[in-house]
């Protein structure tokens, strides 16, 4: 897995999974961490156990049923940890011994850490979530719930489909134009009605607009579409093989 040293140095366990070291047939020995309709529950449980065993502390994992929306789940009790069937695309918490996580396979994972209050968040930002400003809403939720000051926040934006490879259609272009005054700045035209979209930069800009210093934001320089040797890519593998695995990006407080 990949680790943000920025978050780690501040006392936050974190990780962006890669595809190796598991038991799933994608095509073999793949660390698929979600997607129960395309893999067995037994495989996913074993893969998650292997992933969590990488961490030094005894963490429990909190996830949600992701629906490409903009809702943020507050994880404050055991019932919030155990119920993964609620529909959210971001999770925030302040609990010790808990990792909040989001699942991706080209979408952008964003991890947030408040160095003062020790609150933290994991956000799933596909193009729909990005167009709905989900990372900005996660910061707002941290502010209203935990008293977070954005100037205290560190952010790590993980591997995802990059602006070099992620071609989209007019529906995405129109959604950004509707919601952002500078929406066109995230696109590079390729052909009529199509363009490459840079979701990494769009999410970074939303964090900066919330008051997080640009120097406190790291962006992984790896593209899931380019590097299917390292990552799952829905865009590539669904077309080639009819199915793909899911990556998991997590963050939690160290003792």
pLDDT value of position 123? 98
Strand partners, 217: 155
Mean of pLDDT values over 23-33: 94
pLDDT band at 82 (very low <50, low <70, confident <90, very high): confident
pLDDT score of 56 more than 90: no
Q: Identify the burial level of 60 via C-beta atoms within 10 angstroms of its C-beta, where 0-12 means exposed, 13-18 middle and 19 or more buried.
A: middle
Tell me, yes or no, whether 127 lies in a domain.
Answer: yes
Tell me if 171 is assigned to some domain: no
pLDDT in tens, 160-219: 999 999 999 999 999 999 999 999 999 999 999 999 999 999 999 999 999 999 999 999
Domain interval for residue 17: 5-160+220-253
Taking residues 74-102, report their average pLDDT: 93
pLDDT of 255 higher than 80: no
In the chain, how many domains are there? 1
Strand order in the sheet with 153-157: 72-75, 90-93, 120-125, 108-114, 153-157, 217-219
Residue 139 falls within a domain, yes or no?
Answer: yes
- Residue 118 included in any domain: yes
The span from the CA of 226 to the CA of 186, in Å, is: 19
Question: Where residue 83 falls among pLDDT bands split at 50, 70, 90?
Answer: confident
> In this structure, is residue 120 part of a structural domain?
yes
Residue range 241-250, pLDDT digits in tens: 889 999 999 9
For residue 81, the model assigns a pLDDT of 92
How far is 164 from 174, CA to CA, in rounded Å? 20
Q: Is the pLDDT of residue 253 over 80?
A: yes
Q: What angle do CA 45, 48, 49 make, to 5 degrees?
A: 85
What are the residues facing 101 on neighbouring strands? 250
Distance in angstroms (rounded) separating the CA atoms of residues 120 and 91: 8
Checking if the pLDDT of 87 tops 90, the result is: yes
Residues with Cβ within 8 Å of 102's Cβ and at least 6 positions away in sequence, in order, are: 63, 64, 66, 89, 90, 91, 109, 122, 123, 124, 248, 249
State the Cα angle at 59 between 109 and 153, rounded to 5°.
45
pLDDT of residue 132: 97
Q: Given this model, what pLDDT does residue 36 score?
A: 84
Which conformational region is residue 11 in: left (phi greater than 0), alpha (psi within -120 to 50 degrees), or beta? Answer: left
The answer to whether position 182 is within a domain reads no
The token duo for 164 is 């070099």
Crossing angle for the helix pair 134-146 and 199-209, to the nearest 10 degrees: 30
Q: Is residue 211 part of a domain?
A: no
Q: How confident is the model over 223-239, as pLDDT tens digits?
A: 999 999 999 999 999 88
Q: Under the phi-then-psi rule, with left for phi > 0, alpha for psi from -120 to 50, and beta for the rest, what region is 146?
A: alpha
**∠ CA 104-87-73, rounded to 5°:** 90
In a domain, 24, yes or no: yes
Q: pTM for the whole thing?
A: 0.97
Q: Which residues contact 187 (CB under 8 A, 6 or more apart)?
A: 173, 176, 195, 196, 197, 198
Whether the pLDDT of residue 71 is over 80: the answer is: yes
Residue 44 has pLDDT above 80, yes or no: yes
| pLDDT value at residue 149 | 98
pLDDT at position 84, please?
A: 77
| The pLDDT value given to residue 235 | 95
Q: What is the CATH number of the domain that holds 114?
A: 3.60.140.10
Average pLDDT, the chain: 96
Which whole number is the average pLDDT over 1-17?
97
């Amino acid at each position: 897995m990949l680790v943000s040293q920025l978050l780690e140095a501040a006392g936050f366990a974190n990780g962006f999974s890669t595809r190796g070291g598991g038991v799933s047939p994608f095509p073999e020995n793949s660390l698929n961490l979600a997607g129960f309709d395309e893999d067995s529950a037994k495989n996913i449980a074993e893969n998650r156990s292997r992933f969590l065993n990488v961490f030094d502390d005894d963490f429990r994992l909190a996830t949600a049923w992701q629906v490409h929306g903009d809702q943020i789940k507050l994880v404050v009790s055991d019932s919030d940890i155990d119920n993964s069937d609620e529909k959210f695309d971001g999770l925030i918490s302040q609990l010790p011994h808990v990792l909040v996580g989001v699942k991706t396979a080209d979408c952008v994972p964003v991890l947030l850490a408040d160095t003062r209050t020790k609150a933290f968040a994991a956000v799933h930002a596909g193009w729909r979530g990005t167009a709905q400003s989900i990372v900005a809403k996660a910061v707002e939720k941290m502010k209203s719930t935990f008293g977070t000051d954005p100037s205290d926040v560190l952010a790590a934006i993980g591997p995802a489909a990059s602006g070099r490879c992620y071609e989209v259609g007019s529906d995405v272009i129109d959604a950004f134009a509707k919601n952002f005054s500078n929406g066109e700045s995230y696109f590079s035209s390729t052909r009529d009605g199509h363009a490459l979209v840079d979701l990494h930069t769009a999410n970074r800009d939303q964090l900066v607009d919330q008051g997080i210093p640009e120097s406190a934001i790291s962006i992984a320089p790896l593209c899931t579409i380019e590097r299917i040797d390292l990552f799952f890519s829905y865009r590539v593998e669904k077309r080639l093989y009819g199915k793909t695995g899911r990556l998991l990006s997590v963050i939690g407080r160290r003792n």
